[in-house]
Amino acid sequence: MKQWWNWRKRESELEKEIQHHLRMAEADRRDRGASTADAQAAARREFGNVGLTKELARDAWGWRWLQDLFEDVRYGLRVLRQNPGYTSAAILAIALGVGINVGIFSVLNGFALRLLPIPRADQLVSINQVLHGHFSRNVHGEGGLVSYPEYRDYRDHSNVFSQLAAYEPFVDVTLAGVHPEQLLGALATCNFFEVLSEHPAQGRGFTDSDCSTPGGNPVVVVSDAVWRQNLSADPALIGKTILLNHTAYTVVGIMPNGFTGTEVIPTAFWVPITMQKTFDGAGDYLEQDNLSWLTMLGRVHPGVSLKQVHADLSVIAGRIDQRHPGRSTSLLIAPATLFGRPDERALFLPIASVVLAAFGLVLLIACANVSNLLLARATARQKEIALRLAIGAGRWRLMRQLLTESLLLSLAGGAVGSLLALWSFEGIIRFVMSALPREVSTLAINLAPDFRVLAYALGLTLLTGIAFGLIPAWKSSRLDLNTALKNDGMQSGSGAKSGRLLRHTLVGAQVAVCMVLLLAAGLLLRALSYAQTIDPGFDLKHVASVALDLKVQGYDVNRATVFTQTLRQRIAAIPGVTEVAQAEDAPLSHDWSGGEFSIPGKSGDLSIEYNRVTPEFFSVIGVPIVRGRNFGPNDWRGNSVVIVTEATARRFWPGEEPLGKTLREDKREYSVIGVAKDAQVSHLGESDSTYLYFPATPEYSLRAFVLTRFAGDPAVTLKAVRDAVQSLDRDLPADVARLEDYLEVWRTPSRIASGLAGALGGLALLLASIGVYGMVSYSVNRSVREIGIRIALGADSSKIMAHVLRYAMRPVLIGTLVGTGACAAVSWILSSLLFGLNPRDPIAFIAVPVFLLLVALAASYIPARRALRVDPVIALRYE
Amino acid sequence: MAEPYRNRMELLQGTLDLLILQTLLWGPSHGYGVAQAIRANSGDLLQVDAGSLYPALHRLEKQRWISAEWKVSENKQDVKVYKLTAAGRKRLTEERSRWEQITDAISGVLNPAARKES
C-alpha cells in the first residue's frame, strides 16, 4: 500500500522533472535567438519520446510488474465486461467444473484429512501396529490394534506423550427401556477425556479410580445425542442408572452438544475399559497379551515431532516383539483424524483417487470448452492484437495480458463454483446418506471449508485458468502481423491452418474424455441394473428375519434353547406364517462363518463358508434338497452330519456320488447326508457357491437368526413376530426385518456409485455436447463466405453440404477413435468392481460415440443449411 | 555555421553512470544541467538524450549513489536536484579505475609495440 502511494507521488514528480527539462531546453534555445514556437518544438524533438522515457524511468524503480499487472487487470475487466455473453458462458463452465471438484474435495477432506474437532488437535497422534514375520494373533476388529498389556507398555515407557489413551470403538450394546435400542459406544481408558481435552457439559468425566478394579466401576458418560433422543433429555440424569446389556451403569457425565467422539460413526457413550467383561461376552480381554482390540490415541508434548514419537515407540515395540519370537512390529504414527486406521485408509484411498480423477476429467472437459471459446474470440480480436503488436508491445507482454484475462475468468468462475459447492454439498451428502442403511446413516464429517479446502479451490482455479488460457494466449501472440492487418478480419476458409488444427484437437480431446467418462458411467449403471435383477438363487420375498443375541442378555445354553424353541412355536402360530426356521447366520446378512475343510486321506484344505440351520431352513428360503435327505431329529445329538451344496460336491467329488462321503475339519469328521441346490446365500455376486449346512445344535441357540416365511401382509407379520419376541422377554431388542432388505444393503454401495457416475456422466455429456456444438457451428459459420462464393460459382449445394458435414465431423470421429482406445483401458480397470459384467460391453462403447456424432451432425447441419439458403450476395458480404 | 559534429554514440549503461557521477562530483545539479555539463565537457561530442539520462538518474538514485531533493528555483519552479552521496563517491572511484583498466587493455591491443608496463 505504501508502495502504491509512493508510486503515485513518483509519477507526478517524474512528470514535473520532465516538464522542467523541457522548459530549460526551450529557454536555452530562446536565448540563442529562436522563436518561442520553434524553441518549444526543437526542445521536444531533442528530448525524444516522453512516454518511453517515463517507462524506462519506471523500470528503474522496479515496480514495473506491479503497474503492468494493474493495467492488465483493468484492461481485462473492461474486455470481459464488453462481452457479457462469452464471459458468462466461460464463467458458467468453469464454475461447474471447479465447483464439483471443490465439493468432492471437501467431502474427502472431512473424512480423511481433517484433524479431530477438538482443541489443539495437532498434538494428537494415532498409533497403529503393523506386524510382520511369523506370528499368530487374535484379532477383534483390525490387525493394527493393540492389546491392553501392550498399551500399558507404551504408556509406561514412552517419554513423548503427556497422556496416552486407548479405547475400543464400536461396542454394540442394548440400551434397555420401553423400546430397547442398539447403541454403538466405546470402552475407554480413564484418561480418555484428558487426552482429548474435552470434558462433559454436565457431570464429570472419568477419574483414575474409575479404572482401578476390573468390573468394579459401572459408570458411563453418554453423548448429547443419546441424552436427547434415548433418555428424553432428562435434566436430572446424572446419578441415575441405565441398563446396558442388562448391567446397571450410573450416568456420571453428559458430553456437550456436537461432540461425537473420535470416529466417523458417532459414539453414543463411553464406559471405563475395566468394564470390558460385561460387553463383548467373549471373555476377559484385559489380560490377553496377543489380542488386537484397542486403538491408541496420544497427546504429545508441545514441540515433539512425529519422527520422535516413532523413534521412541519403536524401541518399546521392539521390546514387545522379544516376547513373540519371529515377529517384528513396525509402527504407523499419524496425526489423528476421523478415519485414520490403516485398514480404513486402505479401503478409502483407491476409491478417493478414482473419484477425484473422474471429477477432474469433467473439469478438463469444461476447460477444453472454455479454451475453444477463447480461441474463437481470439480470432475475432485479431485486429486489436495485431495493432498492439505493431505499435510495439512485446509478445510476452501481450501474452501476459491475455493470461490475466483468463485468470480473471477462472477466478470469477472458481469463486462462484466454490461458493455454490460449499453451500450445496452439505445438502447433497445428507441426501445420499439417507439412502444408506441405518447403521451408517449419520456420519460425523465436517464439511465446512477449512484452509485445505480453500487452498485446493484457489490452486485449482489458478491451474484451470492457466490450463485453458495458455494455448489461446500463446497462439494469439504469435500472429502474423502482415496478414492480420491487411485482412478485413474475415479470412476465407475457417482460419489459419494451425488455428483450425488446434480447435479441432480440442474438440477431439473433449470427445475422447467424454467418452471415457460416459463409458465408465454406463458400465456402472449396467452393473447396477444387473445387481438389481440378479437372482440370488433363493426366494427372498416374504421372509422375515430377526436377530437374537441371547448370550449378551445373560442367557445360558439351556435357557436359550428353550427360548428359541418356544419362540419358533409362537411364531408358527401367527396367522399367515408357513414355515419357521433358525440359523446361525441369515442369508446375505454380513455375518458368516467359515472354516477349512478337507477330505480325509487327501491333502489340501478348502476354505468354505457354512451355516448351522434347523431343517425348516431349506423350505423357508426356498433352496431344495436335490439328493439325499434333510436333517432329522437324530442329527441333533452327536451325529456329525453335513449337507453340501452342488458346487461343493462337484469340488470335492467330481463325478462321484457325494452321499456318504466324509469331510474333515480340524479333528472332526462329518458325513454327507444330502445335497442342496446352489444359491448365493452368503455374498451376492460370488461365483463360487461352495457352502455347507450343519445342523443347529443347542449351543448355537445363543446367537441365532429366526427366519419366518409368511404369506400375509408384511407389516402385520413383522409386528406379530416382534410381539412374539417381546412376549417372551420384554428387554430383548427385536429387530425384525425382511430378508429383501438385506439385499438392499448389498446393493447400496453400487447404487450410490452408479448414481454418482450417472450424474457425472450426464454432466460430462452436457459439457461435451455444448463444446462440440459450439465449435462445429462456429467453424461452419466461418465458412459461410466460402459457401457463398461456391454457390455463386455454380457449385451443387448438396455436394457442398456433404463436404461441410464431412469436414465438421472429422475431429469428432478422431476423438471417438482415441476415446475408444482409452475406454478399453478404463473398462479393464473397472471390471474388477463389477458383477462379472463383460468389460467390453458393446452398448456403452457404441451408444456414446453415436450420440456425440449425432450432436456434431446437428451442429454442422443447421448452420450449413442456413448458409446454403442465403443469397450468395449477402453471404459474400457476411462478416 | 557548420553543424557541430554530433556523435550520437550509444553510451554503454555503465559509462553513462560514470559520467553522471563524475559530473555530480563538481556539485549538485538537476537533470538538464547534468546533460549540459556532459555535453560541454566532452566538447559537444557526447549528447546524452533524455531517454537515457533520466532512467540512468533514477537507477542511480535507487542504488543510493546519488540522492535527490526538491528545491524551488529562482523562477519559483520546483526543481529536482541530484547530489552525490558518500557511497556514490566510492562507486565513482571504483568505476574510474575500472574504466582506466579497460582503456589500457584496449590500447594494448591496438598498439602492441607501445604497450607500457604499469
pLDDT in tens, A320-330: 888 888 788 88
User: Is some CB atom of chain A closer than 8 A to the CB atom of B76?
Assistant: no
User: Is some CB atom of chain A closer than 8 A to the CB atom of B62?
Assistant: yes
Q: Which residue has the higher pLDDT, A872 or B73?
A: B73
Q: Looking at CA atoms only, how far is residue A73 from chain B in angstroms?
A: 26
Confirm if A772 and A852 have CB atoms less than 8 A apart. Answer: yes
A877, three cell numbers:
458480404
A563, three cell numbers:
427360548
pLDDT in tens, A576-608: 888 898 888 777 765 666 677 778 777 667 777
Tell me which of B8, B58, B59 to substitute to probe the interface with A (most A C-beta atoms closer than 10 Å): B58
Predicted pLDDT at B3: 44
In chain B the first and final C-alpha atoms are separated, in Å, by 44
pLDDT in tens, A260-301: 888 877 888 999 988 887 776 556 788 888 888 888 999 999
Using DSSP, state whether A479 is helix, strand or coil: coil
Using DSSP, state whether A678 is helix, strand or coil: coil
Whether the pLDDT of residue A634 is over 90: the answer is no
Using DSSP, state whether A611 is helix, strand or coil: strand
ipTM of the complex: 0.80
A637, three cell numbers:
445329538
Binary contact (A57, B32; C-beta < 8 A): no
Contacts of B77 in chain A (CB under 8 A): 20, 23
Phi-psi region of A600 (alpha: psi -120 to 50; beta: other; left: phi over 0): beta
Write out the H or E segment, with its range, that includes residue A833.
Answer: none
Q: For A146, which DSSP code?
A: B
DSSP codes joined into one string, A566-603? HHHHHHHTSTTEEEEEEESS-TTSS--EEEEEB-TTS-
Confirm if A872 and A790 have CB atoms less than 8 A apart. Answer: no
Average pLDDT, chain A: 80
Length of chain B: 118
Predicted pLDDT at A5: 72
User: Whose CA is closest to B20, among B2, B41, B4, B45?
Assistant: B41
Q: Which of A187-196, A578-587, A822-831 has the highest mean pLDDT?
A: A187-196
Binary contact (B80, A56; C-beta < 8 A): no
Contacts of A53 in chain B (CB under 8 A): 50-51, 54-55
Contacts of A57 in chain B (CB under 8 A): 54-55, 58
Q: Which of A291-305, A766-780, A797-811 has the highest mean pLDDT?
A: A291-305
User: Is some CB atom of chain A closer than 8 A to the CB atom of B51?
Assistant: yes
Q: Looking at CA atoms only, how far is residue A6 from chain B in angstroms?
A: 13
Measured distance CA(A668)–CA(A466) in Å, rounded? 70
Contacts of B80 in chain A (CB under 8 A): 13, 16-17, 20
Measured distance CA(A449)–CA(A376) in Å, rounded? 36
Measured distance CA(A111)–CA(A779) in Å, rounded? 46
Binary contact (A56, B51; C-beta < 8 A): yes
Q: Looking at CA atoms only, how far is residue B84 from chain A in angstroms?
A: 18
Q: Exposed, middle or buried by CB within 10 Å (0-12, 13-18, 19+), for A110?
A: buried
Size of interface A-B (CB pairs under 8 A): 55
Q: For A633, which DSSP code?
A: G
A383, three cell numbers:
485486429
Q: Which chain B residue lies closest to A13 (C-alpha atoms)?
A: B80
Tell me which of A24, A50, A61 to substitute to probe the interface with B (most B C-beta atoms closer than 10 Å): A24
Strands (E), A210-305: 219-222, 241-244, 247-254, 269-272, 291-292, 295-300
Measured distance CA(A289)–CA(A303) in Å, rounded? 32
Predicted pLDDT at B34: 93
Q: Out of A17, A46, A61, name the one closest to residue B31 (CB).
A: A17
Predicted pLDDT at B66: 92
Tell me which of A18, A56, A63 to substitute to probe the interface with B (most B C-beta atoms closer than 10 Å): A56
Q: Which residues of A162-190 are buried (b: 16+ CB within 10 A; e: fewer)?
A: ebbbbbbbebebbbbeeebbebbbbbbbb
Q: Looking at CA atoms only, how far is residue B3 from chain A in angstroms?
A: 15
- A428-431: list long-range contacts, CB under 8 Å, 24+ apart: A428/A103, A429/A107
Q: What angle do CA A561, A565, A568 make, to 5 degrees?
A: 140
Give percent of chain A above pLDDT 70. 86
Over range A391-416, report the average pLDDT. 87
Place of cell 420401553: A178
Confirm if A97 and A464 have CB atoms less than 8 A apart. Answer: yes
Predicted pLDDT at A291: 83
> How crowded is residue A323: how many other Cβ atoms within 10 Å of its Cβ?
12
Write out the H or E segment, with its range, that includes residue B83.
Answer: strand B78-84
Tell me which of B6, B16, B20, B32 to substitute to probe the interface with A (most A C-beta atoms closer than 10 Å): B32
Which residues are CB-contacts of A132 (< 8 A; sequence separation ≥ 6)?
A327, A328, A329, A330
Average pLDDT, chain B: 83
At A142, the amino acid letter reads E
Length of chain A: 879
Q: Give the dihedral of Cα atoms A29, A35, A40, A42; nearest 10 deg.
A: -60
Q: For A255, which DSSP code?
A: P
Give percent of chain B above pLDDT 90. 36
Predicted pLDDT at B4: 46
Binary contact (A62, B62; C-beta < 8 A): yes
User: Whose CA is closest to A264, among A335, A339, A324?
Assistant: A339
Domain boundaries, chain A: 2-62, 64-114+342-489, 121-336, 494-534+743-879, 543-711
At A274, the amino acid letter reads T
Over range A148-167, report the average pLDDT. 90
Q: Which of A150-154, A804-808, A830-834, B114-118 has the highest mean pLDDT?
A: A150-154
pLDDT in tens, A58-85: 777 766 777 778 888 998 898 888 888 7
Binary contact (A61, B50; C-beta < 8 A): no
Q: Looking at CA atoms only, how far is residue B36 from chain A in angstroms?
A: 10
Predicted pLDDT at B87: 93
User: Whose CA is closest to A333, among A355, A363, A308, A350?
Assistant: A308
Measured distance CA(A188)–CA(A168) in Å, rounded? 6
User: Is some CB atom of chain A closer than 8 A to the CB atom of B58?
Assistant: yes
Q: Out of B51, B62, B80, name the one closest to residue A52 (CB).
A: B51
Among the residue ranges A54-58, A328-332, A568-572, the one predicted with the least confidence is A54-58
Q: Which residues face A860 on adjacent strands?
A: none
Q: Exposed, middle or buried by CB within 10 Å (0-12, 13-18, 19+), for A158?
A: middle
User: Is some CB atom of chain A closer than 8 A to the CB atom of B30?
Assistant: yes
Contacts of A59 in chain B (CB under 8 A): 55
Q: Evaluate whether the domain defined by B13-109 bears CATH number 3.10.129.10.
A: no
Predicted pLDDT at A631: 85
Confirm if A700 and A690 have CB atoms less than 8 A apart. Answer: no
Q: Which of A150-159, A491-500, A700-709 has the highest mean pLDDT?
A: A150-159
Q: How are the residues of chain A apportioned to helix, strand and coil, as percentages rounded to the nearest 5?
A: 55, 15, 30
Q: Which strands form B29-30's sheet, in the order they lie side by side?
A: B29-30, B78-84, B66-72
Q: What angle do CA A803, A808, A810 make, to 5 degrees?
A: 100
Over range B33-57, report the average pLDDT. 88
B112, three cell numbers:
602492441
Tell me which of A17, A28, A59 to substitute to probe the interface with B (most B C-beta atoms closer than 10 Å): A17
- Alpha helices, DSSP H, located in A83-215: 84-108, 148-157, 192-196
Contacts of B70 in chain A (CB under 8 A): 13
Q: Which chain A residue lies closest to B77 (C-alpha atoms)?
A: A20
User: Whose CA is closest to B34, among B93, B87, B95, B84?
Assistant: B84
Write out the H or E segment, with its range, that includes residue A124.
Answer: strand A124-133
Q: Which residues of A519-530 are buried (b: 16+ CB within 10 A; e: fewer)?
A: bbbbbbbbbbee
Measured distance CA(A402)–CA(A374) in Å, rounded? 10
Contacts of A12 in chain B (CB under 8 A): none
Predicted pLDDT at A680: 72
Q: Out of B55, B79, B80, name the one closest to residue A59 (CB).
A: B55
User: Is some CB atom of chain A closer than 8 A to the CB atom of B39?
Assistant: no
Contacts of A49 in chain B (CB under 8 A): 51
Q: Out of B30, B55, B80, name the one closest to residue A56 (CB).
A: B55
DSSP codes joined into one string, A731-792? TS--EEEEHHHHHHHHHHHHHHHHHHHHHHHHHHHHHHHHHHHHHHHHHHHHTHHHHHHHHH
Q: Out of A16, A20, A49, name the one closest to residue B51 (CB).
A: A49
Confirm if A261 and A267 have CB atoms less than 8 A apart. Answer: yes
pLDDT in tens, A220-253: 999 888 888 888 888 888 888 888 877 888 999 9
Measured distance CA(A468)–CA(A495) in Å, rounded? 20
Contacts of B49 in chain A (CB under 8 A): 46-48
Show which residues on chain A lie within 8 Å of chain B, measured between beta carbons: 13-14, 16-18, 20-21, 23-25, 46-49, 52-53, 56-57, 59-62
Predicted pLDDT at B5: 44
User: Is some CB atom of chain A closer than 8 A to the CB atom of B79?
Assistant: yes
Contacts of A9 in chain B (CB under 8 A): none
Binary contact (B62, A13; C-beta < 8 A): no
Q: Which of A58-67, A409-418, A790-799 has the highest mean pLDDT?
A: A409-418
User: Is some CB atom of chain A closer than 8 A to the CB atom of B90?
Assistant: no
Q: Which chain A residue lies closest to B32 (C-alpha atoms)?
A: A21
Measured distance CA(A48)–CA(B55) in Å, rounded? 13
